[in-house]
Amino acid sequence: MESIAPSFATPTPGPRGGSPQAPAPAERIEYTTTRSIEVRREVLRRQRLIAGYPPGPYVDAYKVLRTKVLQILRERGWNALAVTSPNPQAGKTVAAINLALSLALDVSQTVLLVDANLRHPSVHTAFGFTPQYGLSDYLLDDVPIERLLINPKGIGRFVVLPGHRPLPDASELLASPKMARLVDELKHRYPSRIVVFDLPHLTTADALAFAPHVDAALLVLEAGRTTHAELEEALAHLNTTPLLGTLLNKAEPGPGS
Ligand X SMILES: Nc1ncnc2c1ncn2[C@@H]1O[C@H](COP(=O)(O)OP(=O)(O)OP(=O)(O)O)[C@@H](O)[C@H]1O
Q: Which does 89 bind (CB under 5 to 8 A by kind): ligand X, Mg ion, none?
A: ligand X
- Min dist CB 94 to Mg ion, Å, is 8
- Min dist CB 25 to Mg ion, Å, is 30
Q: Which does 48 bind (CB under 5 to 8 A by kind): Mg ion, ligand X, none?
A: ligand X
Instruction: Rank residues 122 and 136 by Cβ distance to ligand X and give the closer one.
Output: 122
Instruction: Rank residues 101 and 156 by Cβ distance to ligand X and give the closer one.
Output: 101
Which residue's CB comes closest to Mg ion? 93
Please tell me the distance from the alpha carbon of residue 153 to that of residue 35, in angstroms, as a whole number.
Answer: 9
Residue partners of 187: CB distance under 8 A and separation at least 6: 79, 80, 193, 195
The secondary structure of residue 2, as a DSSP letter, is P
The secondary structure of residue 79, as a DSSP letter, is -
Please tell me the distance from the alpha carbon of residue 8 to that of residue 238, in angstroms, as a whole number.
Answer: 19
Strands annotated E in 27-109:
35-37, 80-84
Instruction: Rank residues 98 and 110 by Cβ distance to ligand X and give the closer one.
Output: 98
Say if CB 18 and CB 56 are below 8 A apart: yes
The verdict on 92 binding Mg ion (CB under 5 A) reads: yes
The verdict on 87 binding Mg ion (CB under 5 A) reads: no
- Min dist CB 202 to ligand X, Å, is 10
Q: Closest Cα partner for 214 from 246, 180, 190? A: 180
Q: Which does 116 bind (CB under 5 to 8 A by kind): ligand X, Mg ion, none?
A: none
The verdict on 48 binding Mg ion (CB under 5 A) reads: no
- Min dist CB 13 to ligand X, Å, is 6
Please tell me the distance from the alpha carbon of residue 105 to that of residue 57, in angstroms, as a whole number.
Answer: 16
Say if CB 103 and CB 252 are below 8 A apart: no
The verdict on 93 binding Mg ion (CB under 5 A) reads: yes
> What residues line the site for ligand X (CB under 6 A)?
10, 12, 48, 85, 88-94, 117, 120, 122, 200-201, 249-250
- Min dist CB 198 to Mg ion, Å, is 6
**CA dihedral of 8, 14, 17, 19, whole degrees rounded to 10:** 10
- Min dist CB 6 to ligand X, Å, is 19
Q: In sequence order, which ranges of the chain are alpha helices (DSSP H)?
A: 41-46, 57-76, 92-104, 123-127, 135-141, 171-175, 177-188, 205-210, 228-238
Q: Which does 201 bind (CB under 5 to 8 A by kind): ligand X, Mg ion, none?
A: ligand X
Q: Where does this chain bind Mg ion (CB under 5 A)?
A: 92-93
